[in-house]
Amino acid sequence: MRQNADTLVIDTVEKLAALITEKRASRKVYHEEHQRITNEVSRLQEAVNKSKNNYEQALEHYKSSKTKYEDQYLKGKPGRKLDELKERYQKACKKLHQVHNDYVLLLCEAADYERDFRTVLLPGLLEYQERVQEDMIDKWRSLLSEVCELTDTTQGRYAQLQAEVASAVSAISPKTEYSSFSETNKSSPPDPVSFEFCNELLGDGVGSLQAGQLAVDSLTVDSLRLRLNDIEHSLREVTTQLREKQNLLNQHETEVVNIKTNSLQDSNIGSRLAVLKRASDVLRRELNELRCRESWLQHQHRLIHDPLAALGCEEAPQPWEATQVNGDSHQRSDSLSLKSRSAAIKELLRKPFNRSKTSDSQASTPPTPTRANTEERATEPDQNSLLEMTPGGQAEVPQAVNGVQELTYDPDRCLEDEPWFHGVLPREEVVRLLVNEGDYLVRETTRNDEQQIVLSVCWGSHKHFIVQTTPEGHYRFEGPAFPTIQELILHQHGCGLPVTNKSGAILRNPIFRERWELNNDDVELRDKIGRGNFGDVYKARLRDSGLEVAVKTCRVTLPDEQKKKFLQEGRILKQYDHPNIVKFIGICVQKQPIMIVMELVPGGSLLSFVRNHKGQLTVKQMMGMCLDTASGMAYLESKNCIHRDLAARNCLVGHRSIVKISDFGMSREEEEYIVSDGMKQIPIKWTAPEALNFGKYTSLCDVWSYGVLCWEIFSSGEVPYQGYSNTKAREMIDSGYRMLAPPNTPEEMYQLMLKCWQYEPENRPHFSDIYAAVDSIYAPL
């Protein structure tokens, strides 16, 4: 009895505690997954409402612009004002068509998700939870049986009671138990949410736009093709994920069959079966979601691809029908009749939308790269030579007189070439440049879908003045008007008077573009070589020097907040100079798209490199890659820079297989950084527990990620925690699980990985120590 009691306390109770913990974790996972897929419906509802509001605003702006342009044209007064009204109408029409398409595609996405939410995702999550709970009931039955055996010391009439208890325990059916529970406690299914095109948006004067149908014409064909490329890229990614997860599920099922065939007696085999079953259940649920996503993307692909394929020509649709007005019999003989004027308006309004080399739409979309055979460079230039080869992209900088910059006006120089014009540099970046009282610069911004020129001045605080346009097409603030913005700024700088009486701001010192602020036209985009979070990555050439570079572009359609994050990478990179950090050359903000120019690293991403060379790399070569990364990270740590996204996909391989750290889009120049904007884009399987749980980032979080990166190198680019979702991997890490060493990993290197994966950050080594440790392993090889 004593021996049984000890077993009951030590072994059985421990199993019971583990089962309770597993039950709580399962409930947490279920609630989190349920909340995630439910929140997506709410997010889509909000997005549709926002898109509808944008549609209404674009429609009002379009009708207003159309009326003003028509009225001005009918007055028979050609001039700058008519040209401006024509340009505004042209932009408003294009904006309306694009907003219409965005609204139609969003409704398609929302309706597909809502349908699958009710018919696939929620039922699939419930089935997964049922299987998990049935497994737990089976474990609970085993525990009860164990308790019956350990407490069965009865004799006489009590033996019959004990037998009845044991019989009742063996009669427990996991499927019956949980089915009756779920039937009793199930909630009502969610009410269907309707996502339909609001027909009230379409009325008179919107041309060929139709409810629920994409507008496919010269105003939208380029943006639709870009959207189609994005969808095709996403489809390829989803297809790859489906294939990988299906293969993994097939492997699990094959292993289960082999285990059952060989033996059922070994207890370890029984536990292995349980692990395989749970992993298979997770994979089935993830496969369901991926199939739904594939279906959504295919629907959107058909919605765009079919009308594009059927498009015979790219002639613009008739933008509007001019109102027929009875003519005045006493018009001058040299003026058009109203009828002929109406026809002329139609013809005139058709022309701006025909494709031409000088159309404004060309300036708002990234140029298409053209392939060219370029000669590989044998050596890598250093940072100074890279900068020396970059084009200036500026007018000659005037000299300062008595501490004040003297400005000159050259009528042959356009606004973009003025050294104090900073293009589309975001306001946050402008504030960084304007430090002293009277510092100023000129930039371009978009407000209410219109491009506007803004004068930014440091005067007490930072003040921003929109350059006003007179009816005659001149430019002014509160004083006199001038034919060009350059003359206006020159006058305001020289007169010493406030820009506005209310602000009192006086222009004293123009802030010129820094050397690394390049002109967009100085960069010739060639081959597309990748895709980033903010846009595409191109192989490019600097026109003046012929230097081959890599260029990251920022999608024009991104909100200003995202563009600010995009430029943050350039601001961080330009301060660093290290052989294992990708070198910064410049940024292009004179016009859209915004671009970051960096050195071209020919080997591509480290992840692709180790995958493509699987089985070909020696241990010494792989250790060298770990050493390069440690060197670069030790440098960043010394600069108080937290990378936050260290992974093989974000490192590049240069000449002689030198690894260079790249992708600083999530980086922060702080000793400690607390995330306050959610965890939407956090790479879960590479991120340290304290960052996931509390949003707290330090360089020791990068140390954790470095351990995962080394594992990627030695596993030839395998996915960490393969076969497990982010949530499951996170649970396993919190419970103490660590990945096994990949084949051919030196034992000392694996022990270093384990040190990097210490749960408490203070127990992890710093990068200076890591570099020394990796170097000691690498040197004897």
Q: Which residues are catalytic?
A: 645
Determine how many CB atoms are found less than 10 A away from the CB of residue 171.
9
Confirm whether residue 535 is marked as ligand binding.
yes
Q: Which of 623, 628, 633 is nearest to 714 (CA)?
A: 623
Measured distance CA(18)–CA(31) in Å, rounded: 20
Measured distance CA(664)–CA(643) in Å, rounded: 6
Phi, psi of 190, rounded to the nearest 5 degrees: -65, 150
Confirm whether residue 53 is marked as ligand binding.
no
Query: If you ran DSSP here, which 8-state letter would residue 141 be given?
Result: H
Question: Going by C-beta distance under 8 Å and a sequence separation of 6 or more, which residues neighbour residue 405?
Answer: 398, 509, 510, 512
Measured distance CA(360)–CA(347) in Å, rounded: 19
Helix, coil or strand: residue 661: strand
Please list the residues that pair with 476 across neighbouring strands: 468
Measured distance CA(552)–CA(377) in Å, rounded: 21
SS (H, E, C) 41-106: HHHHHHHHHHHHHHHHHHHHHHHHHHHHHHHHHHCCCCCHHHHHHHHHHHHHHHHHHHHHHHHHHH
Question: Going by C-beta distance under 8 Å and a sequence separation of 6 or more, which residues neighbour residue 558?
Answer: 534, 535, 566
Edge-first strand order for the sheet with 536-542 is 517-518, 584-588, 595-599, 548-553, 536-542, 523-531
Confirm whether residue 530 is marked as ligand binding.
yes
Confirm whether residue 181 is marked as ligand binding.
no
For 302, the token pair is 């058909």
Please list the residues that pair with 579 across neighbouring strands: none
The answer to whether 82 and 73 are in contact (CB under 8 A) is yes
Measured distance CA(519)–CA(731) in Å, rounded: 49
Determine how many CB atoms are found less than 10 A away from the CB of residue 256.
15
Interior angle at CA 304, CA 298 and CA 310, nearest 5: 120
Q: What own/partner pairs with CB < 8 Å and gap ≥ 24 does 386-390 have?
A: 386/547, 386/583, 386/585, 386/599, 387/515, 387/516, 387/585, 389/542, 389/544, 389/545, 389/547, 390/515, 390/516, 390/518, 390/522, 390/542, 390/544, 390/545, 390/547, 390/585, 390/586, 390/597
Determine how many CB atoms are found less than 10 A away from the CB of residue 479.
14
Amino acid at 366: P
Measured distance CA(637)–CA(553) in Å, rounded: 28
Confirm whether residue 552 is marked as ligand binding.
yes
Confirm whether residue 537 is marked as ligand binding.
yes
Question: Going by C-beta distance under 8 Å and a sequence separation of 6 or more, which residues neighbour residue 490?
Answer: 407, 408, 409
Confirm whether residue 536 is marked as ligand binding.
yes
The answer to whether 705 and 687 are in contact (CB under 8 A) is yes
Measured distance CA(591)–CA(541) in Å, rounded: 18
Measured distance CA(188)–CA(291) in Å, rounded: 26
Q: Which of 236, 247, 276 is nearest to 260 (CA)?
A: 276
Measured distance CA(300)–CA(303) in Å, rounded: 5
Confirm whether residue 534 is marked as ligand binding.
yes
Helix, coil or strand: residue 455: strand
Query: If you ran DSSP here, which 8-state letter would residue 520 be given?
Result: G
Measured distance CA(670)–CA(663) in Å, rounded: 17
Look up tokens 């008077």; give the residue. Answer: 497
- Enumerate the known binding-site residues: 529-537, 552
- Enumerate the known binding-site residues for ATP: 529-537, 552
